[in-house]
Chain A
C-alpha cells in the first residue's frame, strides 16, 4: 500500500497543473449575451496565488509519486484545501479583473476552473478509497466544500459571477423551482417505494406474478422520457375534462400530474428489482433455521428477511432518487416546474448562464442524495 507510486494521482495531478495553466481560469463578459474575454491562471489570480497553487500542486504530484507512510492522509488534506479555497479564487479573480464601472459586466468560470474543480475531486475520491475511509468521511468532506461555497456566495465577493447574477434576477423563482423539484422527485420515489414493496411482496409469494411484473416495469423503463411525458398528456387531459373534481385537484394534461406519473413509472424498475432481489436473496438455510426454531411468518419477515434485505433496498432507493432528480429536470418541458425550467428557458434565450443555474443545482442535489444514502447504507452494512 505504501510502496509503489500512485499512477492515478500522478497523472491526474499533472493534468490538473497543465490544464490550469493552458485553459482560461475565468471569463469577463460585458453583459449577458456577448461572449467575453478569457483570462489564464496567472492573469486571473496574480503571481502570488498562481505560484502558490502551482507549488502546492507539484507537492501533491510528488506525494503521489513517492512512497510515504501518511501520503494518502496528506493528499486528502491538500486536495481538500484546494477545493475549499477554489470559490475564493473566483472572488480574487473578480476583484482583480472586473471593471468596476459597468453594472452589466459579469465573471464566469472558465474551462480551467472546471478542471480545477473536477480533477482534484477525482483525486480526492481515489485517496479516500485508498484510505478505506467510510462514506461518512466523504459526506463530511462534501459538507465542508459546500460550506465554503455557501460562505463565498453569502459574503457577496462573487456576486459578479454570471450564474449568481442570473439567480439574483429571480430568487423567488429559484426557491419555487427548488421546492417543486424536490417535492416532485421525492414524492415519486416515495410512492414508487410503496408500490414496489407491495409488488415485490406479491412476486415473492406468487411465482406467476414475476414475469409479467418485471415485463411491464422493464418496458416502462425503455420508453424515452420525453415520449412518456408527452404520451401522458392526452389521456390525462381527457380524464380531467370528464371529471371536474380532478381538475379542481390540479390534475391536467400538463403540469405536475403527468410528470409525477411518468417519474413513478421510471422509478418502479430499480425499486422493484432491488426489493425483490433483496427479499429473495435471503439464504434459505436461515429461513429454515428460523422456521424450525419456532418463528412464525411475521417474526421471520420482520426480524430476518427485512433487516437482511435493507441494505439492498436502500441501494435501490439511492439509484431511484438520483434517477428521479435527473428526470425531473426534463419534466419541466410539460410544465411541471423544477430546475428544468431554467435549463429550457436558457436554451431558448441562448443564455448559457441560465442553463447553468438549472443544471448545477440538479447535479448538486443528486450528489448530496447519493452521498447521504450511501452513508446510510454503509452504516447499516457495517453495524447490522
Chain B
C-alpha cells in the first residue's frame, strides 16, 4: 500500500506538486494522468526518493519512505521509464539481472529468474538473452525494461510513460501484456501517462492531475460518469465518453448465458467473453445486426449479447 499525505514539491518558484493526498491499495494499479508538465513524473519520483518532497509524507506499507534505507527502498520498487533506460553495454540477460545482481543472488538463480521473466513477457526466443539493446525493436526493448523492473519480484512497480515512445499497435500489445501481468502478479503499481485511453484501460483507479494538484481520484467508470470538473470532462472527452464507457465493460458481464454451450453457427461472426462491449458494439454496427453470439476459447457458443444488453450496461 502506498499513501501520499499532503505531498508537495517545489522547484524554486514553481510548485510542481501541490499537496497531493491519495492511497494506492495493495495490488491495485493507480494511473496518474494529466497533460505534460502537470507534475506526474515528479510525484512518481518522490515515491522512490529520486526527488525529496518539500512537504507532506509518503508511506509505503505504513512506513515513511524517508525512514527507509534508500537502497532497500529502491530495490523493492521496480522502475520503468520512457525510452527504457536499458544499459547499452550490457546484454539483455545482464540488464534483466541488474537488481538481483545488486541483491547478490547466486549466478544460477539469476539465470533461472531471467529465463522465467523472458517467458512471462514472450521473449523466450533462442539467443535473445545475449542480444544488446541496440539490436532490439522498440517493443522488445520496453518489454525487457518491464522484465528488468520485475526481476527481483518487488512489491511495487513504478512506471513513467513506459509506452509513450512506441507506435500505436505496439503500445496496444504492451498494454494487453500489462493487463495479463497485472492479473498474474498483482503488483501495487503507480503508472504515469498523458493518454486518457491508456489510463482507462489499465487503471483500477485514476488520479487526474492538473498544474500540480490532484483534481479527481476515482475508478475509471466513476471518472467517466461523474467528472469532478470541466477539466476532467474535457480530458475524458465529453462527446465520446459513452463509447469509452463501453470500452470498460466485458461482454461476459452483460451477456445472456445459455444453459449449455451450443455448437457454433460458423456463418455468424461472434465475440468472446473477455472482449469489451465496445468491440461487440462495433461489430454489430459493421454487421448491421441486433445481437451477436458469444464464444468460449474452443469456439462453442456459450451465450448471446444483444444491443439492449449493451444499452443496459451503459447506464
Contacts and interface: CB of A to CB of B under 8 A. Distances in A.
Contacts of A289: 79, 81, 84-87
Contacts of A285: 81-83, 85
Contacts of A290: 85, 87, 98
B81 A292 contact: yes
Interface string A272-315: 00000000000001101111111110010001100110000000
Contacts of B158: 292
A294 B50 contact: no
Interface in B71-106: 71, 73-75, 77, 79, 81-90, 98-99, 102
A294 B85 contact: no
Interface in B48-74: 48, 50, 71, 73-74
B87 A304 contact: yes
A90 to B, nearest CB: 48
B99 A384 contact: no
Nearest to A384: B89
Nearest to B85: A289
B81 A293 contact: no
A285 B149 CA distance: 15
A299 B79 contact: no
B89 A292 contact: no
A304 B94 CA distance: 12
A308 B99 CA distance: 19
B81 A294 contact: no
Given A291-B50, A384-B89, A384-B132, A296 B71 contact: yes
Interface residues of B, number: 26
Interface residues of A, number: 17
Contacts of B149: 293
B187 interface: no
B272 interface: no
A282 to B, nearest CB: 10
B74 A293 contact: yes
A262 B80 CA distance: 50
A292 B85 CA distance: 10
Given A293-B74, A296-B71, A384-B132, A288 B89 contact: no
B148 interface: yes
B50 A293 contact: no
Given A286-B85, A384-B88, A293 B102 contact: yes
Contacts of B48: 292
Contacts of B87: 286, 289-290, 303-304
A293 B99 contact: yes
B99 A294 contact: yes
Contacts of A384: 88-90, 132
A293 B148 contact: yes
Nearest to A308: B89
Contacts of A291: 50, 74
Nearest to B72: A294
B74 A307 contact: no
Given A285-B81, A288-B81, A299-B102, A294 B75 contact: yes
Interface in A76-102: none
A310 to B, nearest CB: 9
Contacts of B84: 289
Nearest to A289: B85
A293 B48 CA distance: 9
Contacts of B85: 285-286, 288-290
B88 to A, nearest CB: 7
Interface in A151-187: none
A295 B79 contact: no
Residue of A292, A295, A296, A303 most packed against chain B (CB within 10 A): A292
A293 B98 contact: yes
B89 A307 contact: yes
A308 B88 contact: yes
B148 A294 contact: no
A57 B79 CA distance: 63
B100 to A, nearest CB: 11
Given A289-B79, A290-B87, A292-B81, 5 more contacts: A288-B50, A293-B75, A299-B102, A308-B88, A308-B89
Q: Which 7 A-B pairs have the closest CB atoms?
A: A289-B85, A384-B89, A294-B74, A292-B79, A294-B75, A285-B85, A294-B71
Interface of B: 45, 48, 50, 71, 73-75, 77, 79, 81-90, 98-99, 102, 132, 148-149, 158
5 contacts: A285-B83, A286-B87, A294-B75, A296-B71, A308-B89
